[in-house]
Amino acid sequence: MNIVIVTINQDHAAIASWLAAQDFSGCTLAHWQIEPQPMVAEQVLDALVEQWQRTPADVVLFPPGAFGDELSTRLAWRLHGAS
C-alpha cells in the first residue's frame, strides 16, 4: 500500500514524522509538502493532481483543519475517489 502524507508549511511536520516512525510494514510512505500555504486550495490542486499521477497513492493523508478538509475533498473529486 502506498501512503502519502501531505503537510502545509512545517506546522504539520511533526505529524508526518510520527506517522513515518510507526510500523507500516509493507507500506511505502511518501511526503508531499506545500509551502507556503496558499490563500485558496485551487492554487495547489493542479500540482497535487500532477504529483499523484507521478506517484499514485492508495491513501493520501491531509493535515487536520478546514484547509486540509477542502484539499482532500477537492482532490478526491478530481481523481474520482473518496475523501
Place of cell 478530481: 78
All 3 cell numbers of residue 16?
Answer: 508526518
Regarding predicted confidence, which is higher, 12 or 78? Answer: 78
What is this structure's pTM?
A: 0.79
pLDDT digits (tens, 9 = 90+) for 14-62: 776 777 777 777 888 888 888 887 888 889 999 999 999 998 999 998 8
Q: Please state the domain extents for the chain.
A: 2-78
Peptide bond connecting 64 to the previous residue in cis, omega within 30 degrees of 0: no
Strand order in the sheet with 2-8: 28-34, 2-8, 59-61
